[in-house]
Amino acid sequence: MSFDGIVTHAIVRELNGLLKTGRIVKVYQPHDTDLLLHVRAGGTTYKWLISASAQFSRTHLTKEAFNNPKEPPMFCMVLRKHLEGAFIESIEQIGFERILHVHIKGKNEIGDTVQKKLIIELMGKHSNIMLVDGKEGMILDAIKRLSPSVNRYRTILPGRPYVNPPEQDKLNPLTIERDDLLRRLDFNAGKLDRQLVEHVEGFSPLLAREVLFRAGLGHREALLSAFFDLQQQIRENRFEPTIVQVPQKKEAFHVVALNHLGGISETYDSVSDMLDSFYALKAESDVVKQKTSDLGRFVGNELKKNESKLQKLRETLKETEEASTYQLYGELLTAHMHQVKKGDALLKAVNYYDPDQAIIEIPLDPNKTPSDNAQRLFKKYNKLKHAKQVVQEQIQQTEEEIVYLEHVAQQIESASLRDIEEIREELEEGGYVRKRRRQTKAKQAKPVIESYTAADGTTILVGKNNKQNDYLTMRLADEDNVWLHTKDIPGSHVVIRSDQPSDETLKEAAELAAFYSKSRYSSSVPVDYTFIKHVRKPNGAKPGFVIYDHQKTLYVTPDERTVHRLKNNNQ
């Protein structure tokens, strides 16, 4: 876990420096567990994100754009009533826990000054955001309501008193003294990183391992020295917001250098910039997964059905290969008809088609005449011959269906919330899912294509689903624009708005194509590129399917941070 009490301490200091005395001008709730407050302070409007997501609970300033629901949720309406127009007096961290109390002063309906507290608990699956009356301490509402049947100790419902989470007997990392720490640590028991987490407030396993790494293999004095050096750094607010990318492992971040991880480190100017960069795509992807779980399951089941069907068709095709054998039997039986009489169960005949004139055995039905046996063999031959053609057509159709469904599955994985509706509409139009009742649209809106900006200012467009891919490639792009797609891998259509892009821009566009493909987490992904004029869509082809030529191929390794940078360049 990277977002620990020390990171919370750093972000609270940053938020206080920028938002204190600021006025809350807008409140939004883009997702079930997320809040977005627009705060006007010092002549600047900041976007403050607060998330009670089970997996990505966090708080920081953000530059990301969010799509808000047409009808704001009830909790959002309550916050708008109580917070819009109010002023932030201070943002307080409770000890070194991941708990924030935002003290807010505003006016009620009759113009009297009132105090409110927005309590933010960033504790994984137990995360929550609550609005509390500042004087009485009663809960006005919460983003996650908890009844007594769920949590008897801390019932979180409107009208109930706010109860602090249970206190933990831990030491404050800024005020702890040498003797206090020595009394808590058992150097003979080992696992000192776990002991630091158990006894020091705000310490995560990640930070504890960093202390041990800095201590090296020395005795306890080395450990104490490393710990108190870190304490001094935190006391002096000498933070180093850093994201570390470790090969074959997940990224990590912290406000102190993570030397023990190795890997590639990138430092940021502020804690918010670091958190915004780290969580931007991950958090949205997590929300999309929740919203598209039904579509993902459906497409996955359809893929399994078609893969099973393909296997059976191939087995049937193998059986139809015997058609030529029945044709040979029929022709040889006709040629040797004079040697056969009714009641014979076998005919040994010379195979005139074999250069060696080998003798083959032809099984017969003893209840049929020689002529009837010949007709039976030819009928079997014609049936298998016709079946072979039908099965080959079905195999081709099934293979195309699998390719299409693999593309849709990939698009669901990398879709934004805005893209999901178009994917669902496409599946409805294709007859895959039942159409939902909705108001008829006066006019079909054009797909919204996501735009990125290369380092040299060139625009790069990315289609995130088949509707967008078709529109981007066949209608929006110019014939001299450069078109990119992962080679033989389901992925997005990418267009560079240039006929002569620089090598750097071509590489950046290729990274986008690789990132928004099935090979997002692979290395050395092959990406084809050619001009739009060499891309065409066959008649009757599935949505998003094209063929192309005159292509060249380059190999790139997708990087989430590059995608985030190119997206931010566009803002």
End-of-domain residue from the set 289, 310, 328: 289
Distance, in Å, from the CA atom of 100 to the CA atom of 19, rounded to the nearest integer, reads 14
Asked whether residue 492 falls in the same domain as residue 547, the answer is: yes
Distance, in Å, from the CA atom of 62 to the CA atom of 432, rounded to the nearest integer, reads 38
pLDDT tens across 417-433, in order?
A: 677 778 888 888 888 88
pLDDT at 440 over 60: no
pLDDT at 439: 47
| CA–centroid distance for 305 within its chain | 24
Range of the domain at 529: 450-569
**DSSP letter for each residue of 547-570:** EE-S-EEEEE---HHHHHHHHHHT
pLDDT at 442: 43
* CATH number for 315: 1.10.287
Asked whether residue 113 falls in the same domain as residue 239, the answer is: no
Asked whether residue 206 falls in the same domain as residue 326, the answer is: no
Cβ contacts of residue 464 below 8 Å, gap of 6+? 411, 414, 415, 416, 419, 450, 492, 516
User: Residue 343 — left, alpha, or beta (φ > 0 → left; ψ -120 to 50 → alpha)?
Assistant: left
Kindly indicate the confidence band of residue 507, based on its pLDDT and cuts at 50, 70 and 90: very high
- 495 near 529, Cβ under 8 Å? no
Query: Does a structural domain hold residue 171?
Result: no
Distance, in Å, from the CA atom of 330 to the CA atom of 334, rounded to the nearest integer, reads 6
> Over 316-364, what HEC string results?
HHHHHCCHHHHHHHHHHHHHCHHHCCCCCCEEEEECCCCCCCCEEEEEC
pLDDT at 190 over 80: yes
Distance, in Å, from the CA atom of 535 to the CA atom of 483, rounded to the nearest integer, reads 8
Asked whether residue 282 falls in the same domain as residue 309, the answer is: no
Asked whether residue 376 falls in the same domain as residue 468, the answer is: no
- 47 near 35, Cβ under 8 Å? no
* CATH number for 254: 3.40.970.40
Select from 255, 277, 281, 275 the least CA-distant residue to 60: 275
pLDDT at 438 over 70: no
Q: State how many domains the chain has.
A: 4
pLDDT at 1 over 70: no
End-of-domain residue from the set 96, 119, 142: 142
Average model confidence (pLDDT) across the chain: 90
Asked whether residue 482 falls in the same domain as residue 563, the answer is: yes
Select from 91, 81, 83, 89 the least CA-distant residue to 61: 91
The helices-and-strands tally (H runs, E runs) of the chain is 14, 22
**pTM (predicted TM-score):** 0.65
pLDDT at 570: 64
Query: Does a structural domain hold residue 158?
Result: no
Distance, in Å, from the CA atom of 338 to the CA atom of 336, rounded to the nearest integer, reads 5
The SS3 assignment for 93 reads: strand
The SS3 assignment for 448 reads: coil
Query: Does a structural domain hold residue 496?
Result: yes
Distance, in Å, from the CA atom of 199 to the CA atom of 320, rounded to the nearest integer, reads 73
Kindly indicate the confidence band of residue 51, based on its pLDDT and cuts at 50, 70 and 90: very high
